[in-house]
A and B are shown apart, each in its own frame.
Chain A
Amino acid sequence: SAVISQKPSRDICQRGTSLTIQCQVDSQVTMMFWYRQQPGQSLTLIATANQGSEATYESGFVIDKFPISRPNLTFSTLTVSNMSPEDSSIYLCSVAEYEQYFGPGTRLTVT
């Protein structure tokens, strides 16, 4: 199975600032996704990170708020822009091979 790492593992940020989360996979994967998990809730897909092209965003999520880069088949970044306390969540990257696996997550607190 793919080994996925995320940086940072957690952060506390001020309202109005931005944070970039990195996701690194130990093998080349075609499908990579970014999810959000709000406190005590299930997981919701933010977007599909497409290599070499713009990400595909789900309803309710926009590129200006959550810009995503996917420069190659092993790496992606998610930026949470102009943060508010409502953005406090766990952000998770996921890859799909034959199975789908998740990274350890980035726990973000916005004050």
Chain B
Amino acid sequence: QQQVKQSPQSLIVQKGGISIINCAYENTAFDYFPWYQQFPGKGPALLIAIRPDVSEKKEGRFTISFNKSAKQFSLHIMDSQPGDSATYFCAASIQGGKLIFGQGTELSVKP
């Protein structure tokens, strides 16, 4: 019930392509769904987050799509760049509490 399942585990995309990472959850009490980007040796950086009152949120090249009925949310990276190569984590929490993380996706963008 507290799990967040993330896929794929790894992803290779050509420069300029679209990267798509998916997450699914069971607990309908989750009300905060952030995505974090982590480079080797660094802490996770908040990339974009959504709350269940909206179905989509866009910030620059990054978009979260949220499907409340399916209990799924996804990250889309448009026009992917080699600098986007990193590990991405989805997460979920209830009322600003502890985050439950997905397993992570290692993204590699080839030039």
Interface residues of A (CB under 8 A from B): 1, 31, 33, 35, 41-45, 48, 58, 90, 92, 94, 96, 98-105, 107
CA distance A99 to B46 in the complex (A): 8
Residues of B within 8 A of A101 (CB): 46
Interface residues of B (CB under 8 A from A): 32, 34, 36, 41-46, 49, 89, 91, 93, 96-99, 101-104
Known: A100-B34, A105-B43. 20 other contacts (CB 8 A): A1-B46, A31-B97, A35-B99, A42-B102, A42-B103, A42-B104, A43-B44, A43-B89, A44-B101, A48-B98, A92-B43, A96-B96, A99-B34, A100-B46, A100-B93, A100-B96, A102-B43, A103-B43, A104-B42, A105-B42
Q: Which of B34, B43, B97, B99 has the most CB of A within 10 A?
A: B43
B6 to chain A, nearest CB (A): 8
Residues of A within 8 A of B34 (CB): 99-100
CA distance A92 to B91 in the complex (A): 15
Given known A-B contacts A42-B104, A43-B89, A92 and B44 have beta carbons under 8 A apart: yes
Residues of A within 8 A of B32 (CB): 100
CA distance A92 to B46 in the complex (A): 14
B67 to chain A, nearest CB (A): 22
* Residue from A48, A58, A102 within 8 A of B36 (CB atoms): A102
